[in-house]
Amino acid sequence: MVCFQQAVVGAYRHAADTIDRLRTRTSDGDYAYYVDLTYFMVDRALDHHTRTQWVDGEPVTRQRWHDLVATRRNPGA
């Protein structure tokens, strides 16, 4: 995912553009959770209502994706 790489390198401005493209491409509802995951990776609050229901709940899923980004930034930490 391009948004994962953008989150790792801190390219948050580019991540916002990616979010916009993802919203357009998932407007039919298929894979719309990708938008949520991008927000989680860049540690931003959702600015939309989501219909996605996460198995472990949103906070746990958010933390998991954010941790993946942090681990990639600091692989030895």
pLDDT tens figures, 30-48:
898 999 999 999 888 888 8
pLDDT at 51 over 70: yes
Is 32:13 a contact under the CB 8 Å cutoff?
no
**What's the rounded Cα separation, in Å, for the pair 44 and 64?**
14
Residue 10 φ/ψ region, left for φ over 0, alpha for ψ in the -120 to 50 degree band, beta for the rest: left
Average pLDDT over residues 42-68: 91
Look at residue 77 in the predicted model and tell me its pLDDT: 61
| CA end-to-end span of the chain | 23
Average pLDDT over residues 47-57: 89
Average pLDDT over residues 1-8: 84
Predicted structure pTM score: 0.83
69 CB neighbour count, 10 Å cutoff: 20
